[in-house]
Structure 1
Amino acid sequence: MATIQRTTARVFYYARNVLRDIAPQALFRRRLAGRLEQARLSDQAVRRRLNYYNKLQHVFSPSPAAVRLDKLPSTPTMYYYDLKEFARYFDPALLVDVEFGDVIDVPKVPTLVKDRPIHADDENAVIMKFNKFRHFYMPADATAFADKRPAVVWRGDLNNPKRTRFLDAVRDLPFCDAGSHKPNAPAEYSKPFLSISQQQHYRYIVSLEGNDVATNLKWILNSNSLCLMPLPTYETWFAEKQLEAGVHYVPLDPDFADVTEKVRYFEHHPAEAQRIIAAANAYCRQFSNEQEEQAISLLVLYKYFVLSGQIKPDPEVWRFIQG
């Protein structure tokens, strides 16, 4: 259930992007050199992150299915706008392989994606910050950990066995308020809807992957609640693979038999819980610098077009990318 502020933000998101599409696109292309020069002056963290999202190292050719930048698929609209925000700085005739939506396998050719499975051979999955309005909504949390309800909460769609397994494991635990608010949820799993602000009143919030990553993970880690979750198996622009168990979140066993043990431990060691929360908050802050976020997005695309042989690299910008 969207708040007035969230609805207003959505309207602003679409209005801003529609205006960008209406504006003469040549204006953006003339600014590319200046934007790249500004990005080149960024720090090592920007270089590290852009090369993490775009791990390509060798020259390649776009596939026969690649599309021109001026012919990008327009749905889902938020994916389109999130890509077009930076693609509009480049020649509209450039080709790109792109896969919108939830990606569960690494593409066979270098492709722009929102997410990728976490394993070693993932170079072809070039991550962009897609669907960021939904996935990077991280509202502030004004309630201190000590002042929260000493209980566990989870809400979500039962779209995979992992989530159902979790609900079965905690069904009889009196300190767990877990269930699905979706209309199609079986009666034994059904629970009333809780907004993000309502869930933030619990000390412990569980994050469970759905079709790919867990949408709630970012706002949980940005809150004053302790995040409990199994080891992640997918990652997005949030770089879930880089999260450390016991540092940024509390790991849960695959069968969730340790929920009681973990909650009991942190109820007796609140200082340790707050240490983990502080580390999680610090991790989230790296995504709050909009200038750096834009520089990384532009450089991820630039590197893709250089290695696909479609543009000649500027020596200074390329030297920055390669380190």
Structure 2
Amino acid sequence: MATIQRTTQKVFYYARNVIRDVAPQAIFRRRLAGRLEQARLSDEAVRQRLNDYNKLHDTFSPSPDAVRIDSLPSTRSMYYYDLKEFARYFDAGLRLDLEFGDVIEVPKVPSFVKDRPIRADNDNAVLMKFNKFRHFYMPVDTVAFADKLPAVVWRGDLNNPLRTRFLDAVRDLPFCDAGSHKPNAPAKYSKPFLSIAQHLRYRYIVSLEGNDVATNLKWIMNSNSLCLMPPPTYETWFRESQLEANVHYVPLDPDFADLAEKISYFERHPAAAERIVLAANAHCRKFSNQRDEQAISLLVLYKYFVLSGQLEPYPELWRFIGG
């Protein structure tokens, strides 16, 4: 259920992007050289993230299905606007392959995606910060860990066997408030809807992957609550593959039989829980520098267009990218 503040933010998101779309696009293209020069002066962390999101090394040719920048599909409007925000700085005739929506396999050709499986051979999945209005909503949490309810909470759609297995495992645990708020959920799993603010009243919040990544992971890790989850199998711009068990989150066994033991431990050792919360918060802060976020987004696109033979590299910038 959207709050007035969230609805206002959504209206502003669309208004800002519509204005960008109707403005003369040549204005943005004239700014590209300056933006790339600024990006070249970024630090090592920016370079590492760029080459993590875009792991491509070899030259390639866009597929016959590649689309021009001025013909990007707009059916998924937030994906369209998130890509166009940075693609508009490049020549309108440049072509790219892309897959909007939840991606569970690595594309056969280098393509821009929101997410990809965490595995060694996922280079063709080039990550962009897609659907960021939904996935990178990280509200401020003002309630200290010690002041929260000493209990576990989870809500979500039962779109993954993992989630049903979790609910079966915790059904009889008195300290767990877990279930699905969806109308189609079986009665034994049904629970009332909880807002993010209501989730944040709890000390422990479980994050479970659904169709791909868990949408709630970012706002949990940005909060003062402790995140518990099985190790992630998909990653996005949030770099889930870089999260360390017992450093950024508390790992759970596939059968969730260890949940009660883990909660008991952290209730007896709250300082250990708070150390993990602080590390999770620090990971989230890496995505709060808008200058870096914009530089990386442009560089991910630039590297793709150079390797696809559509742009000649600027020598100094290319040296920065290559390290």
TM-score tier after normalising by the smaller chain length: over 0.9
1:40 aligned partner: 40
| 2:228 counterpart SS class | strand
Residues 50-89 of structure 1: matches in 2 within 5 Å? 50-89=50-89
Q: Which amino acid aligns with 2:211?
A: N
Query: Residue 205 of structure 2: SS of its match in structure 1?
Result: strand
Q: Report how far residue 78 of structure 1 moved.
A: 0.1
Q: Equivalent residue for 1:264?
A: 264
Q: Structure 1 residue 297: deviation in Å? A: 0.2
Counting matched residue pairs gives 323
CA separation in 2, counterparts of 1:295 and 1:119?
26
Counterpart residue number, 1:14: 14
Letter in structure 1 aligned against 2:249: Y
How far has the Cα of 1:54 moved from its partner? 0.1
The residue aligned with 1:285 is 285
CA distance in 2, matches of 1:310, 1:49: 23
Percent identical: 81
Listed as ranges, the matches of 1:182-261 within 5 Å are 182-261=182-261
Shift of 1:186: 0.6
Over aligned residues, Cα RMSD in angstroms?
0.4
Give SS of 1:150's match: strand
Structure 2 CA distance for aligned equivalents of residues 222 and 25 of structure 1:
36
Could you tell me how far apart the structure 2 residues matched to 1:44 and 1:242 are? 16
Give the Cα separation in 2 of the matches to 1:208 and 1:307: 36
Task: State the alpha-carbon separation in 1 of the partners of residues 208 and 76 from structure 2.
Answer: 24
For residues 92-103 of structure 1, the aligned pairs below 5 Å read 92-103=92-103
State how far apart, in whole Å, the 1-side matches of 2:180 and 2:76 are: 25
Q: Report the counterpart of residue 109 of structure 2 in structure 1.
A: 109
Q: Quick one: distance in 2 between partners of 1:53 and 1:120?
A: 13
2:142 aligns with: 142
- Residues in 1 aligned to 2:84 and 2:9: alpha-carbon distance in whole angstroms: 19
Deviation of 1:75 after TM superposition, in Å, equals 1.6
Distance 2:237 2:282 in 1: 16
Gapped regions of structure 2 (runs ≥ 5): none
Shift of 1:51: 0.3
CA distance in 2, matches of 1:233, 1:78: 24
Structure 1 runs (4+) greater than 6 angstroms displaced: none
Q: Distance in 1 between matches of 2:6 and 2:283?
A: 24
Name the CA distance, whole Å, in 1 between partners of 2:220 and 2:278.
Answer: 12
String of CA shifts for 1:253-294, please: whole Å, max 9, x gaps. 000011100000000000000000000000000000011000
TM-score (norm 2): 1.00
Q: Which amino acid aligns with 1:44?
A: E
Alignment of 1:174-189 (within 5 A): 174-189=174-189
Q: Deviation string for 1:116-144 (max 9, x for gaps)? A: 00111010000000000000000010000
Query: TM-score by structure 1 length?
Result: 1.00
State the one-letter code of the partner of 1:18.
Answer: V
Distance (whole Å) between structure 2 residues aligned to residue 91 and residue 99 of structure 1:
21
Q: Which runs of 5+ in 1 are unaligned?
A: none
Task: Tell me which residue corresponds to 2:315.
Answer: 315
Q: 1:191-235 deviations in whole A, cap 9, x for unaligned? A: 001000110010000000000000000000000000000010000
CA distance in 1, matches of 2:310, 2:16: 29
Q: CA deviation at 1:316?
A: 1.1
Q: Deviations over 1:126-168 (max 9, x none)?
A: 0000000000000010000000000000000000100000000
Question: Cα distance, 1:7 vs. partner?
Answer: 0.3
2:194 partner SS: coil
The residue type equivalent to 1:162 in the other structure is L
Distance 1:320 1:3 in 2: 43
The AA in structure 1 aligned to 2:52 is Y
